[in-house]
Amino acid sequence: MEDCIFCQIINKKISAEIVYDNDRVIAFKDVNPQAPVHILIIPKTHIPTLNDLLPEQTELVGELIQVSKELAKAECIDQNGYRVGFNCNKDAGQTVYHIHLHLLGGRAFSWPPG
């Protein structure tokens, strides 16, 4: 989608610090990190929110989680721990309408989140 900022990162029209890239998935550092490690893992297919996820895209979301696990290991946060999560729509604080899995680590987090 032309006006989607994450599609523009996928299409290399906007720069980002890309840490993972394959045919289906790309991951890059969050521009406003909320933890020492804060990476966004996104599908190359434009899906606005989790509500729009089709049953046939289940495997794609599974791949996002697999990539988050690999990146957690690469960032050496896998043993201490990390958090992954999707925000869906306004009450969850979603600001970019292209689904993205947040990978956060490098510090302890409270629960429940605010």
Query: Active-site positions?
Result: 100
Least distance (Å) between residue 61 CB and ligand AMP: 15
Least distance (Å) between residue 72 CB and ligand AMP: 17
Unique residue bearing structure tokens 């729509």: 89
For residue 68, report the phi and psi dihedrals to the nearest 5 degrees. Answer: -60, -40
Q: Which of 45, 49, 57, 94 binds ligand AMP (CB under 6 A)?
A: 94
Q: Which of 36, 62, 96, 109 binds ligand AMP (CB under 6 A)?
A: 96
Is-contact 5 14, C-beta < 8 A? yes
Unique residue bearing structure tokens 């900022």: 5
- Asked whether the bond before 112 is cis by omega within 30 degrees of 0, the reply is yes
The structure tokens listed for 9 are 């990162």
Footprint of ligand AMP on residues 26-85 (CB under 6 A)?
A: 28, 30-32, 40
For residue 44, report the phi and psi dihedrals to the nearest 5 degrees. Answer: -75, -20
Verify binding: residue 110, ligand AMP, rule CB under 6 A: no
Binding residues for ligand AMP (CB under 6 A): 5, 14, 16, 28, 30-32, 40, 87, 93-96
